[in-house]
């Protein structure tokens, strides 16, 4: 078992928003995770922040678990899974946040599994003219990109600074493109120097180009979520 696959213990915690299953140590949290937002204080929220309905004994206020804003029941009635905040059960969210969370569900249900299962690429380090056939996958704790071939690499996801997906088949009219590789830049812990690694899907049928393309598409989505987590 590689160092990145060491067991990360989790604990069940109760917050005002609901039950969450979180890593015991913050350093072990998923790089795609989001922190719970602070709730807008009740005293600062006399009206629904969506439809402007005044709150009273009949119209009660509810907080969206994703954005923390205050809404009436009509504007914050949906209960939707929110895996990025580690909630055990679906939680109340406003319409806008619920839509975002529903779109993310596909990543957690499908694309995350694709990344963990891995795919095969020719990997080139830096400006080298030599490449190595390697199986690339996301570690089970989502914190490392693991590459296995004759060599072995573990790249911490939070150290990746840029990801560029390489495609072919683009036409000015907007024709279909297919992901054929990616270039990523990352920092080695303890160094400010940027390292570069290029991944290219093999032309050989045994490399399964369709699987490689699916893995790259999932990596593209993962990158978007990663940048959102950093911007929070």
Do 219 and 167 form a contact (C-beta atoms < 8 A)? no
| Average model confidence (pLDDT) across the chain | 87
The whole-number pLDDT of residue 51 equals 96
* DSSP track, 189-201: TT--PEEEEEEE-
- Percent over 90 (pLDDT), the chain: 57
The residues that bridge with 226 in the sheet, in sequence order, are none
Report the alpha-carbon distance of residue 138 to residue 144 in Å, rounded. 6
**232 or 179, which is more confident?**
179
| pLDDT exceeds 90 at position 115 | yes
Confidence at residue 154, expressed as pLDDT on a 0 to 100 scale: 94
What b/e sequence results for 192-218 when a residue is b if at least 16 CB atoms lie within 10 Å of its CB, and e otherwise? eeeeebbbbbbeeeebebeebbbbbeb
Q: 64-108: per-residue pLDDT in tens?
A: 999 999 999 999 999 999 999 999 999 999 999 999 999 898 899
Given a contact cutoff of 8 angstroms between Cβ atoms, the answer to whether 42 and 16 are in contact is: no
Residue 94, pLDDT score: 96
Q: What is the pLDDT of residue 230?
A: 66
Cβ-based neighbours of 111, under 8 Å, separated by 6 or more: 217, 218, 221, 222
The beta strands (E) that lie in the chain are given as 10-15, 18-23, 61-63, 70-72, 78-80, 91-93, 119-125, 131-138, 144-148, 152-156, 160-168, 178-187, 194-200
Q: What is the third-level CATH fold of 118-170+178-231?
A: PH-domain like (2.30.29)
Higher pLDDT, residue 163 or 173 = 163
Among residues of the chain, what percentage have pLDDT more than 70? 90
- β-bridge partners, 131: 124
3 has pLDDT over 80: no
Cα(86)–Cα(81) distance, integer angstroms: 9
Which CATH number among 3.40.50.620, 1.20.1740.10, 3.30.40.10, 3.30.530.20 corresponds to the domain 10-114? 3.30.40.10
Residue with tokens 């015991």, as numbered in its chain: 24
Spatial contact of 181 and 198, defined as CB atoms under 8 Å apart: yes
The candidate with the shortest Cα–Cα distance to 86, out of 4, 11, 137, is 11
- 61 near 45, Cβ under 8 Å? yes
Distances (CA, A) of 152 to 82, 148, 163: 34, 5, 20
Whether pLDDT at 171 is above 80: no
- pLDDT in the model for residue 173: 58
Could you tell me the pTM of the whole model?
A: 0.80
Residues 159/228, Cβ–Cβ less than 8 Å: no
**Where are the domains positioned within the chain?**
10-114, 118-170+178-231
């Amino acid at each position: 078992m590689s160092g990145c696959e060491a067991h990360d213990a989790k604990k069940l915690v109760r917050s005002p928003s609901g039950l969450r299953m979180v890593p015991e140590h913050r350093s072990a949290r998923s790089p795609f995770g989001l922190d719970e937002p602070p709730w807008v204080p009740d005293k600062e929220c006399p009206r629904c922040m969506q439809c402007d309905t005044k709150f009273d004994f009949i119209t009660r206020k509810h907080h969206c678990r994703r954005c923390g804003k205050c809404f009436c029941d009509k504007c914050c009635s949906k209960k939707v899974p929110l895996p990025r905040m580690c909630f055990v059960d679906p939680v109340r969210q406003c319409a806008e946040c619920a839509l975002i969370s529903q779109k993310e569900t596909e990543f957690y249900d499908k694309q995350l599994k694709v990344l963990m299962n891995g795919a095969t690429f020719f990997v080139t380090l830096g400006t080298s003219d030599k490449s190595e056939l390697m199986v690339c996958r996301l570690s089970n704790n989502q914190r490392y990109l693991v590459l296995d071939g004759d060599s072995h690499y573990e790249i911490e996801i939070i150290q990746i600074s840029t990801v560029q997906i390489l495609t072919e088949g683009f036409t000015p009219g907007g024709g279909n493109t297919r992901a054929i590789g990616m270039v990523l830049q990352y920092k080695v812990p303890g160094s400010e120097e940027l390292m570069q690694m290029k991944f290219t899907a093999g032309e050989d049928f045994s490399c399964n180009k369709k699987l490689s393309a699916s893995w790259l598409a999932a990596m593209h989505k993962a990158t978007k979520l990663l940048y959102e987590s950093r911007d929070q």
